[in-house]
């Protein structure tokens, strides 16, 4: 349905996004996650044909967005970051205009407008001027605009931005319910939000697509293995020998030596078990440990580290392992994929 190929956009020769490729073929909620300025809006503007890419192509339902814009745009409902509303119209007038522009048949316009107003809960304000509506209602008028003409794809740029908690919950519920029979692509810079409502997550930072996978896997990907750090008076060779003898720890790294004290860190799946084993191994060899620390990161910290610590994008080995679906999970994970051949089935 959506096929994005090597998108690149430069503003006066400075790239703001590059090498963005993904394919979406199944209905569901797809979250674009990334800090502000990561290139989410730019990518969405290109997908919807509001902005031309410097390089790369976008295909919507087999129609190239530049070559056959009208066919492609008929399949998309788009809500930009700032809802594009005519302030001097009422929601009903506004929606009628958009429905007609999307090519909805004359006798169906009224029904469709009515239905989208009911779905988004704006029926009570349908005859008030949009400029007099609250921000939450304006946002909902914007969302109901995307439903007109029954587009298969709905793209929402930060749909919950600037709303109060109750409104946020309502919009999230709406997005989730729409995801059952649409492809919903929405962006957010809040990780919990993306995690809460999306089936699939794509993390964008510094204009690159870092991760693309199922929401459950996001946590597994972000929550890297726990890291343990030790300091000991044992010399490097002996300590490494001891550490290698302990089962269940990996990636043993020597961090340096200062005044006879050596420092190491390593990862373990079971951090408590590993800590005990290391302690017992050193004790058994009559070696002392000066310190043994757990280094744990919250999901949020891990996300921040992933997205902000990058000056240039270096492919992470774990990222690629995520992009390749496990054989058993093939059917589901394939829907979002960094490689096009994975996206075709399902």
Residue numbers at the binding site for other proteins (CB under 8 A): 11, 45, 48-52, 69-71, 73-74, 76, 78, 80, 82, 84-89, 93, 97-98, 100-103, 145
Q: Least separation, in Å, of the C-beta of 78 and other proteins?
A: 4
- Residue 284 class from Cβ within 10 Å (0-12 exposed, 13-18 middle, 19+ buried)? exposed
Q: How far apart are CA 32 and CA 108, in angstroms?
A: 33
Q: Least separation, in Å, of the C-beta of 111 and other proteins?
A: 17
Is 15 or 26 the residue whose CB approaches other proteins more closely? 15
Is 78 or 186 the residue whose CB approaches other proteins more closely? 78
Is 72 or 306 the residue whose CB approaches other proteins more closely? 72
Please give the structure tokens belonging to residue 201: 């997550």
CA–CA distance from 12 to each of 9, 48, 110, 174 (Å)?
10, 22, 45, 39
Is 141 or 222 the residue whose CB approaches other proteins more closely? 141
Q: Least separation, in Å, of the C-beta of 80 and other proteins?
A: 5
Is 96 or 188 the residue whose CB approaches other proteins more closely? 96
Bridge partners of 212, per DSSP, are: 202
Q: Least separation, in Å, of the C-beta of 71 and other proteins?
A: 8
**Using an 8 Å Cβ cutoff, are 214 and 269 in contact?**
no
Q: Least separation, in Å, of the C-beta of 151 and other proteins?
A: 10
């Amino acid at each position: 349905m959506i096929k994005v190929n090597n998108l690149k956009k430069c503003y006066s020769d400075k790239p703001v996004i590059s090498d963005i490729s993904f394919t979406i073929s199944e209905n569901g909620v797809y979250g674009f996650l990334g800090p502000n300025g990561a290139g989410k809006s730019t990518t969405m503007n290109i997908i919807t044909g509001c902005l031309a890419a410097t390089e790369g192509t976008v295909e919507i339902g087999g129609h190239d967005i530049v070559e056959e814009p009208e066919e492609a745009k008929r399949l998309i409902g788009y809500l930009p970051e700032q809802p594009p509303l005519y302030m001097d119209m009422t929601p009903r007038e506004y929606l009628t205009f958009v429905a007609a522009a999307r090519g909805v048949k004359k006798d169906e316009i009224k029904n469709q407008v009515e239905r989208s107003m009911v779905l988004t809960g704006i029926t009570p304000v349908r005859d008030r001027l949009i400029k007099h509506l609250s921000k939450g209602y304006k946002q909902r008028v914007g969302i109901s605009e995307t439903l007109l003409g029954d587009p298969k794809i709905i793209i929402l740029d930060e749909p919950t931005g600037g709303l109060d908690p109750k409104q946020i919950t309502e919009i999230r519920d709406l997005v989730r319910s729409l995801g059952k029979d649409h492809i919903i692509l929405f962006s957010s810079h809040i990780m919990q939000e993306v995690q809460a409502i999306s089936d699939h997550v794509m993390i964008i930072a510094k204009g690159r697509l870092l991760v693309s996978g199922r929401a459950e896997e996001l946590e597994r990907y972000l929550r890297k293995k726990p890291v343990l750090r030790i300091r000991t008076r044992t010399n490097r060779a002996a300590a490494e020998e001891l550490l290698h003898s302990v089962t269940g720890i990996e990636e043993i790294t020597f961090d340096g030596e200062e005044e006879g004290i050596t420092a190491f860190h390593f990862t373990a799946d079971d951090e408590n078990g590993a800590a005990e084993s290391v302690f017992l191994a050193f004790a058994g060899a009559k070696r002392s440990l000066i310190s043994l620390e757990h280094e744990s990161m919250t999901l949020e910290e891990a996300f921040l580290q992933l997205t902000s610590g990058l000056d240039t994008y270096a492919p992470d080995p774990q990222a690629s392992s995520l992009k390749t679906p496990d054989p058993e999970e093939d059917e589901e994970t394939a829907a979002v994929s960094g490689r096009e051949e994975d996206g075709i089935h399902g």
